[in-house]
Amino acid sequence: MSKTLSDTDLTTALADLTGWAQDGRAIHRSFKFADFPAAWGFMTRVALMAEKADHHPDWSNSYNRVEVALTSHDAGGVTERDIALAKKINAALES
Ligand SMILES: C[C@H](O)[C@H](O)[C@H]1CNC2=NC(N)=NC(=O)C2=N1
């Protein structure tokens, strides 16, 4: 289990992560796509990378919108694993 980030480290990490903000013990980003297939395609890519990393988002989908929250359940807050997945998710937007 990795350790939760300090407030300072989290602020520094978020400054580098387009679209993500702290939401309690998680980080959150809203995504909006052209339509449902685009949103679902994005979720499929993220699901595969999450499974590979054994680190999974808390998320929801409504038509062309996807809400994603990342937290490390085992650690009880935001860890480097969440920051790493957020970076990959942002990169998946471009693929
Ligand atoms: C058993 C399994 O490795 C754990 O439940 C993993 C799976 N995915 C996970 N995802 C997230 N976000 N937090 C976890 O603590 C976590 N734990």
Structural domain total, the chain: 1
| Opening angle at CA 30, ends 92 and 80, nearest 5 | 60
21, 30 contact by CB (below 8 A): no
Nearest CA, atom 16, ligand 1: 55
> What residues line ligand 1, using a CB cutoff of 6 Å?
54-56, 71-74
pLDDT band, residue 95 (cuts 50/70/90): low
Whether the pLDDT of residue 93 is over 90: the answer is no
Helix (H) or strand (E) holding 43: helix 36-53
Residue 17 lies in a domain: no
Closest atom of ligand 1 relative to the 82 alpha carbon: 12
For 69, the domain range is 7-11+26-93
Whether the pLDDT of residue 56 is over 70: the answer is yes
Residue 31 lies in a domain: yes
| Opening angle at CA 12, ends 7 and 13, nearest 5 | 95
Average pLDDT, the chain: 96
Residue 42 lies in a domain: yes
Residue 52 lies in a domain: yes
Mutate to test the pocket of ligand 1, among 48, 72, 78, 89 (most ligand atoms within 8 A of CB): 72
Residue 2 lies in a domain: no
Q: Where residue 88 sits, what CATH number does that domain have?
A: 3.30.1360.20
Residue 55 lies in a domain: yes
pLDDT of res. 5: 98
Between these two residues, 92 and 82, which has the higher pLDDT value? 82
